[in-house]
């Protein structure tokens, strides 16, 4: 319900004028307060500049589509933070090594169950952050690697030629710590195993 009450407001000329303050619109306690202050002329209280931004009939207006400067800044900051978090998470967790590091990863076989990657790192070469699903790696040479995770923690791992090892899904940045090339085959699982 829209209520009209006589008040004294400073008009465009800076003089105090008799007019009507419009209150009672849903989502607005008093239109005549705050950064969007407006005092409607006494003869026509429904000429408030924000009224076109309300939906519905004049007696059943819904929430405004206009926000205060403070609300806009808060929304923009929140959206920016949310966008950054989503982008960072997807960049760290969803990077396909074949796409982001084709120098070290090549697809040698793929079907609807698995994807098999040939991995080759030269001495002391480093990859970029990427991720893999669950899989099994088979080393074709002796390896000594450092794996850095998105949180900055590092773990060193070693293996002998022809060893195999389960590799759980996750993101990492591999680095060859040896003076020799590292070669391996990684079988990535596309479906979750049944238990």
What tokens were used for 163?
């060893």
The dihedral through the CA atoms of 77, 80, 86, 91 has a sign that is negative
- 14 phi, psi to nearest 5 deg: 85, 0
Which fold is adopted by the domain 97-189?
A: Jelly Rolls (2.60.120)
What's the pLDDT score for residue 70?
79
Give the pLDDT confidence score for residue 25 in this predicted structure: 45
- Tokens 């060859």 correspond to 176
C-alpha to C-alpha distance for 31 and 19, rounded to whole angstroms: 13
**Both tokens of residue 184?**
């391996």
pLDDT of 194: 66
Q: Is the pTM of this model over 0.85?
A: no
Q: What is the pLDDT at residue 89? A: 54
pLDDT in tens, the chain (195 residues): 444 444 444 444 444 444 444 444 444 444 444 444 445 455 554 555 555 555 455 555 454 456 677 777 777 787 777 776 655 555 544 699 999 999 999 999 999 999 999 999 999 999 999 999 999 999 999 999 999 999 999 999 999 999 999 999 999 999 999 999 999 999 999 976 666
pLDDT for the residue 141: 96
Strands (E) located in the chain: 3-10, 16-23, 40-41, 105-110, 114-121, 130-132, 135-139, 143-148, 154-159, 164-167, 170-176, 182-189
pLDDT at 59: 53
The domain limits of the chain are: 3-66, 97-189
- What's residue 193's pLDDT? 60
Sign of the alpha-carbon torsion through 173, 176, 181, 185 = negative
- Can you read off the two tokens belonging to residue 80? 């920016």
């Amino acid at each position: 319900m829209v209520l009209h009450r006589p008040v004294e407001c400073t008009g465009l000329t800076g003089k105090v004028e008799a007019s009507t303050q419009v209150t009672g619109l849903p989502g607005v306690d008093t239109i005549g307060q705050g950064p969007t202050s407006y005092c409607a002329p006494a003869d026509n209280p429904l000429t408030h500049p924000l009224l076109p931004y309300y939906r519905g009939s004049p007696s059943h207006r819904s929430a405004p589509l206009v926000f205060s400067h403070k609300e806009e800044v808060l929304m923009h900051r929140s959206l920016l933070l949310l966008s950054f978090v989503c982008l960072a998470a997807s960049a760290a967790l969803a990077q396909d090594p074949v796409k982001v590091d084709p120098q070290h990863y090549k697809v040698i076989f793929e079907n609807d169950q698995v994807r098999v990657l040939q991995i080759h790192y030269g001495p002391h070469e480093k990859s970029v952050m990427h991720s893999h699903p669950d899989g099994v790696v088979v080393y074709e040479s002796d390896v000594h690697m450092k794996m850095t995770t998105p949180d900055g923690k590092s773990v060193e791992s070693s293996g002998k030629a022809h060893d195999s090892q389960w590799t759980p899904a996750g993101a990492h940045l591999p680095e060859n710590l040896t003076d020799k090339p590292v070669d391996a085959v990684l079988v990535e699982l596309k479906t979750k195993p049944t238990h």
